[in-house]
Amino acid sequence: MTRSLVFDGLQISNWNRETIEEIKRGQVNGIHATLAVWETPIEAIRNIADWNVLRNENPDLVSIACSADDIRSAADQDKVSVVLGFQNTSPFAQDYTLVEIFHQLGIRVAQLTYNIQNYVGGSCYDPQDSGLTRFGQRIVEEMNRVGMLIDLSHVGNKTSLEAIDASSRPVSITHANPLWFADTPRNKPDEVIDALVSRGGVIGACLYPNVIGGNSTSQDEFSAMVIKLVDKHGPEHVAIGSDMTRNWDQGYVNYLRDGRWKPAANASWPEWPSWFNSPEDFPKLADGLLKAGLSDSDLALVMGENWLNLFETSFSPLSELEGMATNNG
Amino acid sequence: MTRSLVFDGLQISNWNRETIEEIKRGQVNGIHATLAVWETPIEAIRNIADWNVLRNENPDLVSIACSADDIRSAADQDKVSVVLGFQNTSPFAQDYTLVEIFHQLGIRVAQLTYNIQNYVGGSCYDPQDSGLTRFGQRIVEEMNRVGMLIDLSHVGNKTSLEAIDASSRPVSITHANPLWFADTPRNKPDEVIDALVSRGGVIGACLYPNVIGGNSTSQDEFSAMVIKLVDKHGPEHVAIGSDMTRNWDQGYVNYLRDGRWKPAANASWPEWPSWFNSPEDFPKLADGLLKAGLSDSDLALVMGENWLNLFETSFSPLSELEGMATNNG
């Protein structure tokens, strides 16, 4: 019997040894880290190279995970696992063959769109959602083939529903909440969550201030939302994706919001709730869920095991997966 | 006892199923294929992606090999192995971290310079050879660390000697001849071959018309040169690197010669000797060496096993190699 691990479905920080040590102090065994939001192919590759350097210089602390097994063995060695991901398909440019290239480089998750429409489909902030484009269908098919998990967190609802339908494998919402919890385009209507869950997907409840209704929201309210999600959709489909941002200067929030698609507005970082403002608050988060009535076994699923179970079947090539199915069946 | 394999130390063709089938008909189990001569990082990545597509579409025929073991198991399945390589360090730009990135993408060999001086050092055609630069020393160190074989075929002699000295692992000349066989800047003085061999390296005798003294050179003369190399330097250090070019139009020879570093001259492809002008001529090449007096066991080394032995210790990260040494010692 393996011990249950804690895994955070999304963080986006200015990574260094210190930010990883915070995660370790928070007893978090692994995170899905964002390496690109607006990046072009070569910019994304350089961000991967930076992770290689960080791992090479901190072999005692950092492991880049390409599978659920990698995460479990790194945890046995007391290392923090990082699953590399993109919050945009901009690194694929208009070239489906770059999906396999980035899979070779360790990328295991990609969100179909960030905050504006792209070649693949519509974003949650677009007034008109194009739905999944022809290139988008190809990208979904190629991600399915090589073993790259589709993320719909910032994706428009129409595009999301069409992607769920097009995908032959379960998909994820790594960091968003239900719309009934906080009314923002970033949160998801029941229709999207239902469709995702019906295909075996996982949604990571998110702590970013903008998607919990602001930093005045209490921990009890957040915990109750998670438990309601578990009750509605089943404990195997709910997890955590904190969306934690660490160690950035003011300029980076402008980059996140505006990239270079418009002149940067004078954005500022939102203030996090007092009960969760660092990766070190993960144990507190778990305590709150327990206190609010989540069972021990469901807590283990929500705090990490659901991500690991999803990764188990998401990160290997379709051909190998079919091999497994044949061997088992 | 494994059977001995045939491996060609360099080919540079316009690859498709037909050009690979030629190789198979020539009873060649694997080749080192050039993916870049002048390419920038992103151009080189797209060439790798093209190889992925070719492999994905021809799984019965093509295997991309990352190790000597990969080559042996592909041969057992009657597939042609391709070791991916660059004839320039231009894909690394001025970024040493791209060495590891390209290793992750399957690149296992890189020639330090092509036909003009670059960030790393001097080419064989430069009237002044800078020697290995500071960046060049870093690239040698990084290639040593990740497990990428250094190739000196087109590299200047001063840079070559300094690279052999700087490298902690054996290096290669995948496709060139001794200067005493044909006097061209592309061929190597004894001093360079001696230094390479003293560190455990391998030289691939080359059939490209320009480095054998033109297409009037006879097969007997070529065979005698290979046997003299074996006698001088030992049978473990001599192999074949044909430099075969297939399926290109006239424009590509201009690209090879001039890239975009000067206006293209009106170059044309050289004519190959009648006794070796296709990968299908490999059995004839082996027969010639036997007839000229090479022993069966030395023939096996020269026709492929020396490359495989070199690859055995060249393609894994230095840390793993040190692990092996510790385990054995």
By Cβ distance, the residue of A52, A98, A100 closest to B97 is A52
B99-112 pLDDT, tens digit per residue, is 999 999 999 999 99
Answer yes or no: do B48 and A95 touch at CB < 8 A. Answer: no
Q: Which of A108, A82, A88 is nearest to A41 (CA)?
A: A88
Residue A2 lies in a domain: no
Q: How many residues in chain B?
A: 329
- Domain-located, residue B1: no
Cβ of residue B128 closer than 8 Å to a chain A Cβ: no
Task: Using DSSP, state whether A10 is helix, strand or coil.
Answer: strand
The verdict on a CB contact (< 8 Å) between B98 and A41 is no
Chain A residues closer than 8 Å to B106 by CB: 104
pLDDT band at B266 (very low <50, low <70, confident <90, very high): confident
Q: How far is CA A88 from CA A111, A119, A289, in A?
A: 5, 10, 31
pLDDT number for residue B170: 98
Are B215 and B283 contacting, i.e. CB atoms less than 8 angstroms apart?
A: no
Q: Does B60 touch chain A (CB under 8 A)?
A: no
Burial of residue B215 (number of CB atoms within 10 Å: 0-12, 13-18, 19+): middle
Nearest CA in chain B to A45: B101
- pLDDT reading at B328 higher than 70: no
A1 in any annotated domain? no
* Average pLDDT of span B118-129: 97
Q: Domain count of chain B? A: 1
Residue B323 inside a domain? The answer is yes
Residue A57 is part of a domain; what is its CATH number?
Answer: 3.20.20.140
In a domain, A260, yes or no: yes
Q: Does A14 touch chain B (CB under 8 A)?
A: no
Bridging pattern class, strands B202-205 and B238-240: parallel
Q: B97 and A46: CB-CB below 8 Å?
A: yes
How does residue A320 score in pLDDT terms, banded at 50, 70 and 90?
confident
Q: Which residues of B touch A46 (CB under 8 A)?
A: 95, 97
C-alpha B134/C-alpha B166 separation (Å) is 11
| Percent of chain A's residues with pLDDT above 70 | 97
pLDDT band of A97, cuts 50, 70, 90? very high
Would A187 be classed as within a structural domain?
yes
pLDDT at A220 over 50: yes
Query: Given this model, what pLDDT does residue A32 score?
Result: 98
A141 at the B interface (CB within 8 A)?
Answer: no
Q: What are the helix (H) ranges across chain A? A: 17-25, 41-57, 68-76, 97-104, 134-146, 157-166, 190-198, 219-233, 250-258, 282-291, 296-300, 306-314, 318-328
Average pLDDT, rounded, for chain B: 96
Facing residue for B42 by CB, picked from A42, A56, A104? A42
Q: Which residues of B touch A54 (CB under 8 A)?
A: none
What's the CA gap between A33 and A82, in Å, rounded? 6
Q: Does B105 touch chain A (CB under 8 A)?
A: yes
Q: Look at residue B2 and tell me if it is in a domain.
A: no
Query: Looking at the DSSP assignment, which residues form a beta bridge with residue A7?
Result: A30
What secondary structure does DSSP assign to B80-118, as a single string? EEEEEEESSSGGGTT-THHHHHHHHTTEEEEES--SS--
**Lowest-pLDDT choice from A85-89, B154-158, B231-235, B265-269:** B265-269
pTM of the model: 0.93
**pLDDT the model gives residue B325:** 57
pLDDT above 50 (res A328): no
Are A104 and B105 within 8 A, CB to CB?
A: yes
Q: In which domain, by residue range, is A291 found?
A: 7-328
Alpha carbons B164 and B168: distance in angstroms, whole number:
8
**Chain B residues inside the 8 Å CB shell of A98:** 45, 49
Q: What ipTM goes with this model?
A: 0.90
Nearest to B104 among A42, A95, A105 (CB): A105
Q: What is the pLDDT of residue A233?
A: 98
A160 in a domain, yes or no? yes
Torsion of CA B149, B154, B155, B157, to 10 degrees: 120
- Confidence label for B320 from pLDDT (cuts 50, 70 and 90): confident
Quick one: pLDDT band at residue B3, thresholds 50, 70, 90? confident
User: What is the three-class DSSP state of A111?
Assistant: strand
Name the residue facing A42 among B41, B52, B104 (closest C-beta).
Answer: B41
Contacts of A41 in chain B (CB under 8 A): 42, 45
Q: Which residue of B has its CA nearest to A101?
A: B49
CB atoms A101 and B42 under 8 Å: no
pLDDT in tens, B161-186: 999 999 999 999 999 999 999 999 99
Nearest to B45 among A49, A53, A101 (CB): A101
Distance CA B110, CA B87 (A): 6
A49 contacts in chain B (CB < 8 Å): 95, 97-98, 100-101
**pLDDT category, A48, cuts 50, 70, 90?**
very high
The shortest C-alpha distance from B65 to chain A (Å) reads: 14
Residue to substitute from B84, B98, B104, interface A, most A β-carbons within 10 A:
B104
DSSP 8-state secondary structure symbol assigned to residue A237: G
> Does A259 touch chain B if contact means CB atoms closer than 8 Å?
no
